[in-house]
Structure 1
Amino acid sequence: MAFYNYIFVFVVFFLMNGGIMKPVVAQQIATKDDDILKTVLQELKVIKNELNNCKSSNSKLQDEVKRLKDEIDRLHVKHRIQLKMITEQKRDNKDTPSCYNTQSPSRVAFTAYLDHHMTHLGDNQAIVYNKILLNAGEAYNIHNGMFTAPISGVYIFSWSCTARRTGSSFDIWVTLVVNSATQTTAVAESQSTYYDHQGSSTVIIHVNKGDIVWTKRLSSGGAEIHSETERRVSSFTGALLSSDASLT
């Protein structure tokens, strides 16, 4: 019995003094270190992914900033072109003798229409109605689509635009402009393929002698306007209702 007690005491002493305990403890420490290492590696992976996402977002932001800058530059160019067109038109009116430069015309009225489908219109580009039904007073220019008021007074202007869908949903917005000031807008939107939809608008406004009245494609809409030689569905009309001279 004493022998067995001795064996039991020896085993306990051996276990308590590192015989088998040390490897067990070392294994536990190693396992704990592995867990910590795995956690750190996972956190580093998350940080790396976040950095990559930040780089991607920053690149997209830079691209968007560049796109907006290009758009602003393009709009500035369009604006300068429009101002140049208006200035040139006023200079032509001043330099070229005509019935409405030398005397007040008895009648001022015009109707012009577009005889073809126009595509790839620029933002705020002037719509040039290239065919004339009437041009009393010769104040409408078929080359640039601009009407120059030969006399101050109250005028009526009406214009129509037609959209024809050939692919995706399509719309066209056409705005009346006096010099560079927007008046009102007509819109047409075609929802079905090869279906035409016409929009129109009419205004009665006071215009001063020498003011330029024209229509332009609004940048928020599509870049096409539909018309045909026989079906003259996009047009521009204006007429003097009463001159300022008649009111004095």
Structure 2
Amino acid sequence: MMAVYKCIILTLASFTYCYAVLDSETFQNTVLDKLETLDNKIALQKVVIDNQQSILHSLLTGSFQAYDERKVDGIDRKERFLLDGNEGPVAFTAAINARVVEHVGLNETVKFDTVITNVGNGFDNTTGVFTAPLPGIYMFSCSLLDHMDGVHGNVKLHAEIVQNDKVIGRVFAHAGDNYRDQGAQTVFVRVNQGDRIFIRSVDNKDLGIGGELYSTFSGFLMSQL
């Protein structure tokens, strides 16, 4: 009987050993499979990183030719920055050169007599009006000095930047007896060819505007449409 028990014990021990061996091999194979999958993922990521580095290198070394064309990916790019184009740029700056322009009336267009820049010939210093020679996105800025001498001392300066009949910006200044005040405004607007932009006095029937190049009106075509 004892011999039978010994045989059973040896058989169970043998089965336990075989199971342990098989379980160890299964675990090892599973780990190897995981490592192989991880290696494959790392290899794919390296390919992606290499491609991205190549693209960045091309951009940083000045490969922008595709972006300079009118068509990129089949899309018509009509907008372009006007520096080297044959149709631009368009830019102007005009100022009041006299010491003061007196008696500017209600809703009167401010005339900037001295032309500093007028590329594109859009500004008319006899009328104070800029007429857009090209359509596009423009920047306009205006700076006005409130005159304080004599009958114009304490009078508030209030003016508007006007596009055709639409107000697109306002300028305010209020000088006192012992100081002068200057107001300024800058706007970015879409302008059609032939649109008129000018500065208009409001809320004052007898305004004095300081000159000596303190009061200016400027515009610049940023991008043609």
Q: Taking structure 1 as the reference length, what is the TM-score of the superposition? A: 0.53
Asked if the contact 1:126/1:215 (under 8 Å) is kept, the reply is yes
After the TM superposition, which parts of structure 1 deviate over 2 Å for at least 4 consecutive aligned residues?
A: 219-222
* Structure 1 unaligned regions, length at least 5: 1-103
Let me know the Cα RMSD of the aligned residues.
1.8
Residue 183 in 1 paired to residue 168 in 2?
Answer: yes
Q: Choose between structure 1 and 2: higher helix proportion.
A: 1
- The offset of 1:222, in angstroms, is 5.6
Asked if the contact 1:171/1:221 (under 8 Å) is kept, the reply is no
- The offset of 1:198, in angstroms, is 0.8
Tell me which of 138, 141, 151 is aligned to 2:134.
151
**In structure 1, C-alpha distance between the alignment counterparts of 2:167 and 2:126, rounded to whole Å:** 21
Residue 203 in 1 paired to residue 184 in 2?
Answer: no
Aligned-partner SS, 2:127: coil
Partner residue, 2:200: 216
Q: Choose between structure 1 and 2: higher strand proportion.
A: 2
**In structure 2, C-alpha distance between the alignment counterparts of 1:120 and 1:203, rounded to whole Å:** 27
Aligned-partner SS, 1:106: coil
Aligned-partner SS, 2:171: strand
Report Cα offsets for 1:195-247 as digits up to 9, x if no partner.
2211100000001000000001112586111112xxx1000000001010xxx
Aligned-partner SS, 1:224: strand
Alignment of 1:23-38 (within 5 A): none
Partner residue, 1:107: 89
Give aligned-pair identity as a percent.
29
**In structure 1, C-alpha distance between the alignment counterparts of 2:120 and 2:127, rounded to whole Å:** 17
- The offset of 1:119, in angstroms, is 1.1
Partner residue, 2:155: 170
Report Cα offsets for 1:137-188 as digits up to 9, x if no partner.
0110011010001111100000000013225422211210011111111111
Partner residue, 1:128: 111
Aligned-partner SS, 1:118: strand
* Structure 2 unaligned regions, length at least 5: 1-85
Aligned residue-pair number: 138
For 2:224, give the aligned amino acid: S
**In structure 1, C-alpha distance between the alignment counterparts of 2:119 and 2:148, rounded to whole Å:** 35
Q: Taking structure 2 as the reference length, what is the TM-score of the superposition? A: 0.58
**In structure 2, C-alpha distance between the alignment counterparts of 1:185 and 1:241, rounded to whole Å:** 21
For 2:156, give the aligned amino acid: D
